[in-house]
Structure 1
Amino acid sequence: MTWEVFSIIGTVAFAISGTIVALEEKYDIFGVYVLGFVTAFGGGAIRNLLIGLPISALWDQVLLFQIALVAITCVFLFPHRLLKHWHKWGNFSDAIGLSAFAIQGALFAHKMGHPTSAVVLAAVLTGCGGGIARDLLAGRKPLVFRAEIYAFWAICVGLLIGLEIVKQPIGLYILFVGTVILRVLSYSLKWKLPYRSLQSISNEQIHSK
């Protein structure tokens, strides 16, 4: 039951996130639905391939496809006067999708008896895969590859579930809320992972001459 709840939450959140990005990029209605579905199901498809499940397993999720269809349609028909708020809600729905799908992916791999490393990988791929596919199709630099903290939270989720530190339903829901809050704080407060830029190194070399 817990796995199904997180599947529904993640599907709705990422379908909304993908639709918002498509609307920001001024895609037509076909592009909106394609990007919405790719965002909602891309991470699960990548995860299934890497842990040995057939890609056809996705077609058994009829209910989730219907839920995604409704979510995408609702956002597409959203009043235009609320467009100015979409970027903020897009980030929030992305945080919800990341958290829900990271937990769902980790639970999926753990239930199949995979080691902790595979559980972490499943959490990252399920939580971030759809967003990566969305950003690439929209011509954007994927969030997961920026200095901004994103995939790190999925790694933490995978470790907590893989090591069985969190396994009870109440603990999983607390983990979900906590991951969403941390993701929102990371982009609101501009927390960043360490990174280096070749451009900045080149500028330093120029100034030192």
Structure 2
Amino acid sequence: MKNIYVLGIGHNTPVFVDLAEACGYTIAGLYHYNDDRTGQVDHDFEIVGSFECLFSKGDLSGMDFLLTMGDNMIRAELLQKIVNLGGRVPSIIHPTAVISRFAFISSTGVYISAFTHVQADTFIDEGSVILSGVNISHTNRIGKYCFVAGGATIGAYTTVEDYVFIGQSALTISAKVKRIGHHACIGARALVTKDVESGAVMMGSPARTIRSLLPANEVL
């Protein structure tokens, strides 16, 4: 059993705690974004301090951390701070997940939940979260700090760029969707049949762009 500290306290926290415990970790304590809850208990675990308190230590060598926030940008920022201070954010894969021996999963900050299937020749980069019951088809690339919600299916031959959010039970069609641009957001149950521009918010079946999260000069 290895100790791991949890950053972020919210509705997702016990979900990620379950994942860590299923993989043999012991929760050593929780850190909240500020000092308001220090000393309190959440889901039977003590809140031992704030993010500021943690980072003021200066040296996190030998310590493992679990990041439970859904916001991709915040997760990226915290992961980099931890790594820069010598800490570790290990990738955690539920024992019921099926990962092809020909897939590559970054060793840093990837979380793969129960009953997810990652097929051959797929690459998942650091900091990405893949929730329960997701199917990632073969020959895909999932970028950094993406979030794929439960039940989604990503068809084959797709590059998902960094900071993408894919909602519950969304489906992208193999060979039709070759690129999902960075910071795109795919709505729940969306049926994606074509490439997605960076920053696009897509919804519906078939999915269409309803707005952009990026200024026009940043959409590539």
| TM-score in terms of structure 2 length | 0.25
Choose between structure 1 and 2: higher strand proportion.
Answer: 2
Relative contact order, higher structure (CA 8 A, sep 6+): 1
Q: Give TM-score, length-normalised by structure 1.
A: 0.26
More helix by share: 1
